[in-house]
Amino acid sequence: MNGKLHSETGAFSSDGMRAEILNPFVHKLELDNTYDKIKTAIFTVILLPFRVIVICYLIVNAWILAYIGLYGLSEEDLRRKPMTGWRSKLRFSILSLMRLVVVAAGFHRVRVLGKRHLPANSRDAPVVVMAPHSSFFDAIAIVCLGAPSVVAKADTARLPFIGQLINYTQPVYVWRDDPNSRQNTIKEIIERATSKEDWPQVLIFPEGTCTNRSCLITFKPGGFYPGVPVQPVIIRYPNAMDTVTWTWEGPGALKLLWLTLTQVHSSCEIEFLPVYYPNEMEKRDPKLYARNVRDVMAKALGVPVLDYTYDDCRLIARAKHLGIPGAPAAREVSELRAQLGLSQSQPELQARCGGLAGEWVAREQFVQRLAAPAAAHAHAHRLFDIFQQRGSGLVRWSDYLLCAAFLSLQHAPLHHLVCIAFKLYDSSGIGRVSQANFEELATKCLGMCQEDAHHVFRQADFDEKGYITYDEFISYAQKRPELSFIFASDTAQQKPKSQ
């Protein structure tokens, strides 16, 4: 394979069974041989500029047509009724230009499988459910489907050029910061799905965030509330090098765009599955409906299903931002601890929470400290694997405890976690943390680099004792605006990478 994909393994399915799969939020891509590096360098010079110029030309022309088509229409007009007349016919010209964009980007092989069920007047499939959602290149499917109305974040409307093109699909926008957005979105989907007017099909990515396609995560039930039939559509990228996957941990958008545009060609497969008609029980229970549709799509893809959500993404992103040990596997650690009965009582924290900064433990000792019953030893061993240092084969006990404390206190102000961290790194046993231990503490739960941590310690240790206490640090932090995040109660304030 050209390009290596390194990922964390071992998540849990909804029934508690171990699924040896990739962490759905991790994708690390490397050019792993000289040939790939030379080829990419050459095509960066001779192919990339040509493609960028052609793509920009086509998008600008499509944007001009969209601007003309939307002229004189307000946001309320777009939400009230479907486009008709010349505005509707202009959609074909815009789609033709966007199909050329797909070709110009190197996707010469867009293969469409199965039979698409057009709703027409029968309204037999007013909602299209697409998964897995793994990339901004999934827009290829939107073009191939004839630009259905997408359910998308409201932020996309402000994207240069692209935002106007999305507006032309008469999308259903989701305002994630609005507490009423969920109800409003569901209401609008129901109105369109049950309307007698000729609305375009509503396209939903029910996962709500990008994954690496190793599984299907929890489907949000919003698109299933209308209780109408849906057409499941699955998307694949059967390429030797995966340059499209955009996850919470991995290459950024610009790097993926660069690597994709420097490939000779890329492939995409879109498969229409048979229309799914809900039974009476599914109509009454949107979550059940969503789960059952997900099972059908997962079977067609040949991947497992995992109950991961957008909130899990935020949890992982926040853990990574703070430098918490084991951050990429934070969700899995949470489930493993729940399997071991440690999610609430934290017995391992209460029993061993002092002077552990330099303490290393072997596998059997780790399992013993968790007091895991024999039947749950597999879960304890998996926890050990997550925190194991490759060089020594051991686990730093404080790394595990810090991650466990973060998960238990994720909805509390950060200073609660800092308090536990001070106990963990207090090698004196009398409430003091040395400079070296504070610097490690700050890099592992406050997201500081070592230089900043060193500066903070020197400022907090104003009388140069060579150590600080928790109270001294908190007293100093309360006076510093840049450390105010330690006392904030909103754990979602650290925003992860936008998808």
Q: In whole angstroms, give the CA distance from residue 229 to residue 275.
A: 7
Non-local CB neighbours of 299 within 8 Å, separated by 6+ positions? none
Closest CA to 277 of 224, 235, 221: 224
Q: In whole angstroms, give the CA distance from residue 81 to residue 198.
A: 9
Q: Which residues pair with 360 in a beta bridge?
A: 396
Can you give the pLDDT at residue 474?
92
Q: What is the pLDDT along the chain (499 residues), one digit of tens a residue?
A: 333 333 333 333 333 333 333 478 888 888 878 888 999 999 999 999 999 999 999 999 999 999 999 888 887 788 788 888 898 889 899 999 999 999 999 998 899 998 776 544 345 788 999 999 999 999 999 898 888 888 877 777 777 888 888 888 888 887 766 667 777 888 888 888 778 888 888 899 999 888 999 899 999 998 898 888 999 999 999 998 999 999 877 889 999 999 999 999 999 999 999 999 999 999 999 999 999 999 999 999 999 988 877 777 778 888 888 999 988 888 888 888 888 888 655 545 544 555 555 688 899 988 888 887 888 888 899 999 999 988 888 998 889 989 998 988 888 889 989 988 898 888 777 888 999 999 999 999 999 999 999 999 999 988 889 999 999 999 999 999 989 889 886 444 443 343 3
Q: In whole angstroms, give the CA distance from residue 68 to residue 79.
A: 18
Can you give the pLDDT at residue 373?
82
Can you give the pLDDT at residue 492?
41
Can you give the pLDDT at residue 289?
96
Q: Which two tokens stand for residue 176?
A: 């994630």
Can you give the pLDDT at residue 351?
42
Q: In whole angstroms, give the CA distance from residue 145 to residue 139.
A: 10
pLDDT digit string, tens, across residues 45-88: 999 999 999 999 999 999 999 999 988 888 778 878 888 889 88
Closest CA to 442 of 395, 481, 495, 483: 483
Terminal-to-terminal C-alpha distance of the chain = 27
CB 223 within 8 A of CB 204: yes
Can you give the pLDDT at residue 118?
58
Can you give the pLDDT at residue 346?
54
Can you give the pLDDT at residue 30?
82
- Tell me which residue has tokens 């951050």: 327
Specify the DSSP element, H or E, that contains 19: strand 18-22
pTM equals 0.70
Q: Which residues pair with 111 in a beta bridge?
A: 269
Q: In whole angstroms, give the CA distance from residue 467 to residue 462.
A: 10
Can you give the pLDDT at residue 491?
42
Non-local CB neighbours of 268 within 8 Å, separated by 6+ positions? 107, 109, 110, 111, 137, 140, 141, 235, 236, 237
* φ/ψ (deg, to 5) at 20: -80, 85
Measured CA to CA in angstroms, residue 13 lies from 10, 32, 316, 383, 478 at distances of 10, 32, 18, 16, 43
- Give 174-238 as a DSSP string: E-TT-TTHHHHHHHHHHHHHT-SS-PPPEEE-TT-S---SSSB-PPPGGGGTT---EEEEEEE--
Q: Which CATH superfamily is domain 311-487 in?
A: EF-hand (1.10.238.10)
pLDDT digit string, tens, across residues 188-207: 888 887 788 888 888 999 99
Non-local CB neighbours of 262 within 8 Å, separated by 6+ positions? 39, 40, 43, 44, 47, 48
pLDDT digit string, tens, across residues 398-425: 899 899 989 888 888 899 899 888 988 8
Can you give the pLDDT at residue 358?
64
Three-state SS sequence of 345-403: CCHHHHHCCCCCCCCEECHHHHHHHHCCCHHHHHHHHHHHHHHECCCCCCEEHHHHHHH
Q: Which two tokens stand for residue 406?
A: 């973060």
Domain ranges within the chain, ordered by starting residue: 4-308, 311-487
